[in-house]
Chains A and B, each alone.
Chain A
Amino acid sequence: MPFQGEKPIFLQLAEQLEEAILSGAYPEGSQVPSITEYAATYKINPATANKGINLLVSAGLLYKKRGIGMFVAEGARAKLRQQRSEAFYQDYVKKLVREAQNLGLDLDQLTELIQRGYYDVH
């Protein structure tokens, strides 16, 4: 299970769900697994699973149907893409720049590396 690293588990779960919505693994309007299923599969406390899923519910990405389960909201993908661009800057770009500064790279060198990466990754 990829639950390791810097972030609390409930955030990692929330991000995985977002990832699944973005990639289309959980299409808009479809039902997602229950809290028990997430908790049992990932071996996490159900309260933690609940906390992670509630992040998506309060962001309007998932909605609950009483007695039936949870579903992906219409427009969730577009919403996520927009959020992700800002998060990309905060989480990746800033870290990348910091690490580049640690390594003593200047802006031109960093730009060159990004260009190299851009064309290397297909």
Chain B
Amino acid sequence: MSIELQSISKRFGSTQALDQVSLTLEEGHIYGLLGNNGAGKTTLLSILTDRLRPDFGQVLVDGQPVKNNDEALGKLFLVGEQNFFPEDMKVKRAFETAASFYPDFDLEQAHKLAKEFGLPLKKKITSLSTGYASIFRLVLGLSVNTPYILFDEPVLGLDAQHRDLFYRLLIEKYSQEPCTVIISTHLISEVENIVDHTIILRDGRILRDAPTEELMENTYAVSGPAGMVDRYTEDKTILSSHSLGGLKTVSIQGQPESDLPLGLEVSRMSLQDYFISLQEAAEREEEPA
């Protein structure tokens, strides 16, 4: 049981949105899909769900191509920016409509979650505020019970309390009924302990695709007097480097040695710091020499 992207490419005009992207999304994981604006995250999710056709390559869901394939597409649900309900439809009716399309949709659960979020069932979808329009889509995603659930910027416009509630409900849902979750987000620090696998996109290519734990075990930061730090990092792969007066902090790809020169401090990096360091490293490489 998996989603396979085989060498997907997509171009918009002069922009190569995705460039031969190959990925396998295995059952029973929460994937984090990270990347700066324009990295290709939404394009990738749209192609996964056959809303957009790739120029090259194909997507397989449990071995079947998704192109025009209702059976394969029925296993996926994308929580994105768009609504696919008639304009004047009310929330309650929209849930019922979703339930008629997705046989495992849990109407009772949807009503329960709507209540927890304070989402009014009798309101028209179009009259919901930005935050509640997001919440409406989240409730769909948390009730639909497809084997694969894709969230594109799920917490956009949500206040801190509702974001927290969403993450809690997502984890509860995920641990009660095993499924595969993909979360595309800019709020890396909020999901870094939730996603067990991280995919980092940059300019339409995959920069990293690995278990989150493995990524975090293979990077660290060293700080201390600039001269000492420079000597220490001479034979190492530097991702990024920042100086503050005579103090220098360098993030390094690899594992720290057990005996460090006195005066240097080693620290673990957060996923967000690692992400930023990787982007900085990529920018340096792209600069003309």
| Secondary structure dominating the interface of B | helix
Contact residues of A between 41 and 73, Cβ < 8 Å to B: 41-48
B171 touching A36, Cβ below 8 Å: yes
Q: What separation, in Å, do the CA atoms of A44 and B172 have in the docked complex? A: 11
Stretch from B2-10, B126-134, B261-269 that touches the partner: B261-269
Contact residues of B between 46 and 101, Cβ < 8 Å to A: none
What B residues does A3 contact at CB under 8 A? 193
What B residues does A35 contact at CB under 8 A? 175
Nearest-Cβ distance from residue A112 to partner chain B, whole angstroms: 22
Nearest-Cβ distance from residue A71 to partner chain B, whole angstroms: 20
Nearest-Cβ distance from residue B65 to partner chain A, whole angstroms: 30
Nearest-Cβ distance from residue A42 to partner chain B, whole angstroms: 8
B173-196, CB under 8 A of A: which get 1 and which 0? 011100000000000001001111
Our count of residue pairs bridging A and B at CB distance below 8 angstroms stands at 47
Chain A CB within 8 A of B164 CB: yes
A102 touching B263, Cβ below 8 Å: yes
B263 touching A40, Cβ below 8 Å: no
What B residues does A44 contact at CB under 8 A? 171, 193-194
A45 touching B196, Cβ below 8 Å: yes
Answer whether A36 and B267 are a contact pair too, CB < 8 Å, given A3-B193, A9-B193, A45-B30: no
A26-42, CB under 8 A of B: which get 1 and which 0? 00000000011001111
Chain A CB within 8 A of B275 CB: no
Which residue of chain A lies nearest to B174 when distances are taken between CB atoms in the complex?
A46
What A residues does B115 contact at CB under 8 A? none
| Nearest 9 interchain pairs by C-beta | A36-B175, A46-B175, A44-B193, A40-B171, A45-B196, A40-B168, A43-B167, A40-B172, A39-B171
